[in-house]
């Protein structure tokens, strides 16, 4: 049936009995495909009937369907002709895990950052009004978790204040984001009496903001949903349609997973919902272990997250010290300024966010934390290439953005041992903010230093002279740099690999080390046009160091989804790419005489 009804028009002729069969088929299809490829399973299992009703009532793409946090759009993809592509879901060159404007005219918004759909809807409705398309409807589907974001309330304020402009807000209330939804909103929604007839004439938060309100509705009753959505369409005004759904509906492992209802999975066994093989220690796991140790030592250590206790490694601390961990909902700006207040009150907050989401709170990092020189530590998970989540999730902007904050120090650990020591150093800082960047991957083997020079870890030094190439990797890219050494030394070149640990601001001793080599190559998984390499080149220029610095990093573009290793290779951040760049840098600097072994040094190289 799914293959025969892969377009919205075909749905409208189905009976409710046939819709029930189709819903069951969609759930089975999602479990089979998503468990094979990995992806967002729980959110999509919960919106099957809702998405069917939306496409039966509204005429996409003439009517605009905007999905907030597009990981709940898999059913929408199936109903708009993409079922055959699900075997490549989130694979390189395959189907995106979020809406994609390149895939379909039915996809409007591909940014997977939460709490944005209502603002898009507000703008679309204004555009329709100004261009005379008053027969088109704009529908924003937003979860109760995303509704905790401040931007959603800014949009509600505008939409509700224009009573003649029809915007339909479908509030998908499943009581959770990753974890149960926190704050007063969740309490308020839970008190509203169930009303599957759709009409609710009582006063509530939304009616006070100028909306008509329909619900709460059973989000798995297609007939009731259709009736409410048709009524909302006819009202010609802002409407909230409140739908109560079950995350992971119809899949026992998800319904029994109280932690996050199998929100997002890697490839797993479809029967159990769990991986068949043991999962290697991730950077998030390593951070979680160290944070609990530090929390046991320091009562002033607290933690803050924006609706992501488990994904950012705060769950263990929350279980051990629940009064010292604060989940503020999907509200990064509030998280950062609340942390500033915690620091003002004499505590040391650790704010755990995805690297891509700290961009949303830059003003707060700059003015509320940085300006006040407050001791707040940010741990940025998913820094660099994240892999299958694509352009909105790659953590490739934070170094360029945060490097502009005066007094802020940024560290990038190369292995789990250095994560432990650098986090300990970070939370000991009392006169300003600190940042640790960790990637989405396994931690890998320990990378030992062979020496220390002026606070820099020397990871490798060639026994030969002259000193040709200095490789300066940021964090876990140290492994690729060390692999590049074998290639370069095989060509008769002398190579040093140095890990500064704290990468920004640039250590004042690093330009001195650069000066003793023919070329220097910085390596980072951030955009190469700003960040560590740019700062190193500027520091060398200011120190009067003539050695050229080549900055390797990610291209200044939005990168697609794909395996982390493949995207790093494509960007020239694997061993072969680093070696090629080093050889090109040497060729360009060939007119410059090499450093000799008589160059004054400290005896360490």
Q: What percent of the chain has pLDDT above 70?
A: 94
Q: State the virtual CA torsion across 419, 420, 422, 428 in degrees, nearest 10.
A: 150
At 599 the pLDDT is 39
**144, 140, 145: which is closest to 168 by C-alpha?**
140
Helix (H, G, I), strand (E, B) or coil at 5: helix
Indicate whether 604 belongs to any domain. no
Q: Is the pLDDT of residue 594 over 80?
A: no
Torsion sign, CA atoms 417, 421, 427, 433: negative
Quickly count: other Cβ atoms within 10 Å of residue 188's Cβ. Answer: 12
Based on the domain organization, do 252 and 367 belong to the same domain?
no
Based on the domain organization, do 193 and 339 belong to the same domain?
no
**603 — pLDDT class (breaks 50, 70, 90):** very low
**Token representation of residue 435:** 């940042």
Q: Can you give the CATH number for the domain in which 462 is found?
A: 3.40.50.920
- Which of these three, 413, 437, 461, is where a domain ends? 437
Q: Can you give the CATH number for the domain in which 302 is found?
A: 3.40.50.970
144 labeled binding residue: yes
How many distinct structural domains can be found in the chain? 3
Q: Over the stretch 472-525, which tens digit does the pLDDT of each residue have?
A: 999 999 999 999 999 999 999 999 999 999 999 999 999 999 999 999 999 999
- Which of these three, 408, 437, 466, is where a domain ends? 437
332 labeled binding residue: yes
Quickly count: other Cβ atoms within 10 Å of residue 408's Cβ. Answer: 21
Based on the domain organization, do 426 and 491 belong to the same domain?
no
Quickly count: other Cβ atoms within 10 Å of residue 137's Cβ. Answer: 23
At 602 the pLDDT is 38
Indicate whether 492 belongs to any domain. yes
431 labeled binding residue: no
**229 — pLDDT class (breaks 50, 70, 90):** very high
Q: Residue 535 and residue 471: Cα distance in Å, rounded?
A: 15
At 258 the pLDDT is 63
Based on the domain organization, do 304 and 168 belong to the same domain?
no
Based on the domain organization, do 34 and 173 belong to the same domain?
yes
Specify the pTM: 0.91
Question: Which candidate in 82, 137, 247, 437 is catalytic?
Answer: 247
**Token representation of residue 286:** 């390593």
Q: Over the stretch 423-464, which tens digit does the pLDDT of each residue have?
A: 999 999 999 999 999 999 999 999 999 999 888 999 999 987
146 labeled binding residue: yes
At 177 the pLDDT is 59
Q: Residue 579 and residue 572: Cα distance in Å, rounded?
A: 9
**Of 4-13, 288-297, 460-469, where does the model show the most confidence?**
288-297
Q: Is the pLDDT of residue 585 over 60?
A: yes
Based on the domain organization, do 119 and 155 belong to the same domain?
yes
Mean pLDDT of the chain: 91
Residue by residue, DSSP assigns 214-256 as EEEEETT-HHHHHHHHHHHHHT-S-EEEEEE--TTTT-HHHHH
Question: Which candidate in 226, 288, 332, 489 is catalytic?
Answer: 332
Indicate whether 573 belongs to any domain. yes
Listed range (63-67, 90-94, 166-170, 571-575) with the worst mean pLDDT:
90-94
Q: Is the pLDDT of residue 349 over 80?
A: yes
Averaged over 234-248, what is the pLDDT? Answer: 94
Quickly count: other Cβ atoms within 10 Å of residue 192's Cβ. Answer: 18
223 labeled binding residue: no
Based on the domain organization, do 208 and 249 belong to the same domain?
yes
Q: Is the pLDDT of residue 330 over 50?
A: yes
Indicate whether 68 belongs to any domain. yes
- 479-491 burial, b for 16+ CB within 10 Å, e for fewer? bbbbebbebbbee
508 labeled binding residue: no
Based on the domain organization, do 244 and 304 belong to the same domain?
no
**541, 525, 536, 41: which is closest to 264 by C-alpha?**
41
Residue with tokens 């300066």: 472
In the residue annotation, 247 being an active-site residue is answered as yes
Q: What percent of the chain has pLDDT above 90?
A: 77
Based on the domain organization, do 45 and 189 belong to the same domain?
yes
In the residue annotation, 20 being an active-site residue is answered as no
**Token representation of residue 180:** 């149960």
Based on the domain organization, do 109 and 8 belong to the same domain?
yes
- Which of these three, 402, 437, 472, is where a domain ends? 437
596 labeled binding residue: no
Structural domain including 156 reads 3-256
Based on the domain organization, do 200 and 292 belong to the same domain?
no
Q: Residue 312 and residue 321: Cα distance in Å, rounded?
A: 16
Indicate whether 274 belongs to any domain. no
Indicate whether 263 belongs to any domain. no
At 417 the pLDDT is 96
Indicate whether 598 belongs to any domain. no
Q: Over the stretch 164-219, which tens digit does the pLDDT of each residue have?
A: 999 999 999 987 656 677 778 878 888 887 666 656 667 899 999 999 999 999 99
269 labeled binding residue: no
At 6 the pLDDT is 66
Based on the domain organization, do 477 and 418 belong to the same domain?
no
Beta bridge mates, 239: 168, 212
15 labeled binding residue: no
At 535 the pLDDT is 97
Q: State the virtual CA torsion across 487, 488, 494, 495 in degrees, nearest 10.
A: -80
17 labeled binding residue: no
Q: Residue 223 and residue 210: Cα distance in Å, rounded?
A: 27
Indicate whether 595 belongs to any domain. no
Question: Which candidate in 77, 176, 360, 437 is catalytic?
Answer: 360
């Amino acid at each position: 049936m799914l293959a025969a009804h892969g377009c919205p028009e075909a749905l409208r002729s189905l009976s409710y009995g046939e819709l029930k069969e189709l819903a069951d088929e969609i759930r089975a299809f999602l479990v089979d495909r998503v468990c094979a490829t990995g992806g967002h399973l729980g959110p999509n299992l919960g919106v099957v009937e809702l998405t069917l009703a939306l496409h039966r009532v509204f005429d996409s793409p003439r009517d605009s369907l905007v999905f907030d946090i597009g990981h709940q759009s898999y059913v929408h993809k199936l109903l708009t002709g993409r079922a055959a592509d699900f075997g490549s879901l989130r694979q390189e060159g395959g189907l995106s895990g979020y809406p994609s404007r390149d895939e379909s005219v039915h996809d409007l918004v591909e940014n997977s950052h939460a709490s944005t759909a209502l603002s898009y809807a507000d703008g679309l409705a204004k555009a329709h009004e100004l261009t005379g398309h008053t027969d088109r409807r704009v529908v924003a589907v937003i979860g109760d978790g995303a509704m905790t974001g401040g931007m959603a309330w800014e949009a509600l304020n505008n939409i509700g204040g224009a009573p003649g402009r029809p915007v339909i807000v479908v509030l998908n209330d499943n009581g959770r984001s990753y974890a149960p939804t926190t704050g007063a909103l969740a309490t308020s929604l839970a008190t509203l009496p169930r009303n599957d007839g759709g009409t609710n004439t009582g006063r509530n938060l939304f009616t006070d903001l100028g909306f008509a309100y329909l619900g709460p509705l059973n989000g798995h009753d297609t007939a009731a949903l259709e009736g409410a959505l048709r009524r909302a369409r006819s009202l010609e005004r802002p409407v909230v349609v409140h739908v109560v759904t079950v995350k992971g509906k119809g899949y026992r492992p998800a319904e029994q997973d109280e932690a996050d209802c199998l929100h997002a999975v890697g490839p797993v066994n479809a029967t159990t919902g769990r991986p068949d093989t043991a999962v290697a220690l991730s950077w998030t796991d390593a951070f979680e272990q160290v944070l609990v140790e530090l929390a046991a030592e320091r009562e002033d250590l607290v933690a803050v997250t924006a609706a992501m206790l488990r994904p950012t490694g705060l769950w263990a601390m929350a279980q051990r010290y629940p009064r010292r961990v604060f989940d503020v909902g999907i509200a990064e700006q509030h998280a950062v300024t609340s942390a500033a207040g915690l620091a003002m009150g004499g505590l040391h907050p650790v704010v755990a966010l995805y690297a891509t989401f700290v961009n949303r709170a830059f003003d707060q990092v700059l003015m509320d934390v940085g300006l006040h020189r407050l001791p707040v530590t940010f741990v940025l998970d998913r820094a660099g290439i994240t892999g299958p989540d694509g352009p909105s999730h790659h953590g490739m902007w934070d170094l360029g953005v945060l490097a502009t904050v005066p007094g802020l120090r940024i560290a990038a650990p190369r292995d789990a041992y250095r994560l432990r020591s650098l986090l300990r150093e970070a939370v000991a800082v009392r006169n300003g903010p600190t940042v640790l960047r960790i990637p989405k991957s396994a931690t890998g083997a320990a990378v030992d230093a062979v020496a220390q020079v002026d606070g820099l870890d020397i990871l490798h030094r060639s026994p030969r002279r002259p000193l040709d190439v200095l490789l300066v990797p940021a964090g876990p890219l140290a492994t690729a740099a060390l692999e590049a050494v074998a290639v370069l030394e095989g060509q008769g070149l002398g190579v040093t690999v140095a890990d500064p640990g704290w990468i920004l601001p640039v250590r004042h001793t690093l330009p001195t080390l650069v000066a003793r080599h023919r070329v220097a190559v910085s390596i980072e998984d951030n955009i190469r046009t700003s960040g560590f390499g740019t700062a190193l080149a500027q520091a060398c220029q200011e120190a009067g160091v003539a050695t050229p610095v080549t900055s390797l990093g990610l291209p200044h573009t939005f990168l697609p989804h794909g395996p982390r290793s493949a995207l790093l290779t494509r960007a020239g951040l694997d061993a072969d790419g680093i070696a090629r760049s080093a050889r090109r840098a040497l060729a360009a600097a060939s007119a410059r005489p090499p450093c000799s072994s008589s160059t004054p040094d400290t005896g360490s190289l």
